A = this chain, B = another copy of it.
Amino acid sequence: MKVIFEPEGRRVEVPSGTSILGAAAKADIIFETPCGGKGHCGKCRMQVISGAGEPTAADLKIFSKAQLQAGMRLACQNRISGAVVVSVPDEARFFGQTILTDGIAASFSANAAFRKLHVTIPHATLEDQTSDLDRLKRAVAAGLGRSDGIGGIGIRLQTVRTLPAMLHEHANAFTVVLHGDEIAGFEAGDTASACYGVAADIGTTTVVGLLVDLNTGKQVLAASRINPQVARGDDVISRLTFIREDPGGLKDLQDRIVGCLNEIIAELCKKTGVPRDHIYELTAVGNTTMSHILAGVNCGKLAEAPFAAVVRDAMNVNAHDLGVHINPRGNVYISPNIAGFVGGDTVGMILATNLMHGDPQRVRLAIDIGTNGELVLAANGQVISCSTAAGPAFEGARIKQGMRAAHGAIDKVVFNDAIDVSTIGNAPPRGICGTGLIDSVAEMVRTGVVDYTGRIIDPDEAPLPDFLRRRIVSNGDSNEFVLVDGEKSHNGQPILLTQRDVREVQLAKGAMRAGMEILLSELGLTAQDIDEVYLAGAFGNFIRKHMAKGIGLLPDIDSEKIKFVGNAAGAGARMLLASKNCRAEAERISTNVRYVELAGRPDFQQAFMTSMLFPGTNEQR
């Protein structure tokens, strides 16, 4: 069946019964699908110009009669039974977003698991009939300066099988690839200087890959992609639900992330000229769900109590077996986890921020604000962690006009005599991204448009400057705040913040802040004891500190103490790639960082209730 997507005019041929969402993916048009294509969220709306079928039950709930008559439908719910022409509005599309790739890594010395060695092997004689492999091992041991003989040097049979031809064709001189103490392969000539790896940070939403020179541990280039699993829901719980409910769900999600890593690898290779076969290892950090999915381990039960992971350990798997397009003999190392909702990305952050070391008397808090917020507190010689389901509000989801940090997103808001907004790319505003949302709500709180309980007040309830008062409009049950007037937006429609949007912000920041309070109280501390806060992750690094303090996402501490550490998880992945010592450290982190479960704790419920409130208005502070 032929499907045409407008305004691009892209044509694809798909089998009858394919969803329009699926057909669109084939045409490289990706819809926003926060609900995972279940017909709940209404984000994947589009207009069927010709060939529209009867509205589905989901369509009837979402669209008005007029909209339905105009052909408005949900892409996820409508299946193709004949030729159709479809128009996809910008709002429904998943746009590329700014992805933070770099992070600050703690200092480490490079001693990668893979290394290369050029060797020349003496020929056997009647006087010395030592086997080829033992002569090779002797040359390797000598090259590595090992004094403990060849006993510890291993090799797999499939590699042994390639040895006779290598010796024969290259006159006993060639390059040996070593994986730890194992001879992993051979390369003709002297290629010892060309040894690379890829460090991958697999987020629920974004995936970053760093090409790293394994001889130096230095980053060569970064590339990133949206995690294509977003088509199955934009948070971890949706992915877990998909795994539980669809027998092919795990495989689908694994294929998506492997495909995504392969795209990143291809880009890194193309841009640097490094051949794929010279990449011998990929390390991956991600939350526990992402790690399990990449490994192909069914973690569906993470969605319910007691939230135990299947695997805490680091996992190693042959690259070829996993379908990752580096050297087929290469290895994929998946970082260990700490708990079901504190994963390898947090291990990476702890590595990069050196939380396990340094002055044990300093109180240090590391925060990765994402769909889940992970918090790690180091103090009094202990390191403890927790995870809070902040939800994807800061990533633009569940916010009526929320969007990711992409072209046209409002990313900065200040209320002066008027409302000043800036957008990414200085484009006409399309929606609000996370930092814009924090700014807006912080400013609404500061100016009293929102009271400390989070309610948008009535226009005349309190004295407000005129430019604010006139922006408060009623929506029947509650009020809304017009952030951008229609004439200034990209499509002539005003950009609003609803009462519900403010509640979403309260839930998200309340969860984060409550987690913080629980960790502090576990060690008998309060926010005022904190010496340093490390803000990690794509979102954390664009936050304006005073705005975050303004809504109470961060405690009211000296801004000097708050430090941006960039993509700390990615930096940790690079450390894991370039240093075996860091892997041993990751194992220690995985077993020694104590996880604090918040679910079911009465004190967390209490802290959550309190933390949802906003700090007093400007006047009260």
A311 within 8 A of B: yes
Main SS of chain A's interface residues?
loop
CA–CA, A317 to B156, complex, Å? 8
Closest residue of B by beta carbon distance from A165? B298
Contact: B597 with A129, CB < 8 Å? yes
A157 within 8 A of B: yes
Contact: A129 with B298, CB < 8 Å? no
A70 within 8 A of B: no
Contact: A132 with B308, CB < 8 Å? yes
Chain B residue numbers with a CB within 8 Å of A161 are 295-298
CA–CA, A312 to B282, complex, Å? 33
CA–CA, A298 to B160, complex, Å? 9
Chain copies in the assembly?
Answer: 2
Q: Which stretch (A214-222, A299-307, A410-418) binds chain B? A: A299-307
CA–CA, A164 to B303, complex, Å? 14
A534 within 8 A of B: no
Q: Mark A102-139, 1 if CB is under 8 A from B, else 0.
A: 00000000000000000000001110111111110000
A58 within 8 A of B: no
A556 within 8 A of B: no
A316 within 8 A of B: yes
Pick from B128, B164, B296, B299: contact of A297, CB under 8 Å: B164
Closest residue of B by beta carbon distance from A334? B157
Closest residue of B by beta carbon distance from A130? B308
Could you say which interface size class chain A belongs to? 35 or more
Given contact pairs A126-B599, A129-B597, A306-B129, A157 touches B312 in the complex (Cβ within 8 A) = no
Contact: A306 with B124, CB < 8 Å? yes
Chain B residue numbers with a CB within 8 Å of A597 are 126, 129
Contact: B297 with A160, CB < 8 Å? yes
Closest residue of B by beta carbon distance from A168? B301
A310 within 8 A of B: yes
Pick from B131, B312, B317: contact of A133, CB under 8 Å: B312
Pick from B126, B135, B157, B315: contact of A316, CB under 8 Å: B157
A68 within 8 A of B: no
Kindly list 14 other residue pairs between chains A and B, CB separation below 8 angstroms, not including A129-B595, A160-B295.
A124-B308, A126-B306, A126-B307, A126-B599, A129-B308, A129-B340, A131-B308, A133-B310, A160-B311, A161-B297, A163-B310, A164-B297, A164-B310, A165-B298
Return the 3 tightest CB-CB contacts between A and B, nearest first: A124-B308, A131-B312, A131-B309
Instruction: Show 14 residue pairs from A and B whose CB-CB distance is below 8 angstroms, ordered by the A residue.
Output: A124-B306, A126-B307, A126-B599, A128-B306, A129-B307, A130-B308, A131-B308, A132-B308, A134-B312, A157-B297, A157-B315, A160-B310, A164-B301, A164-B310
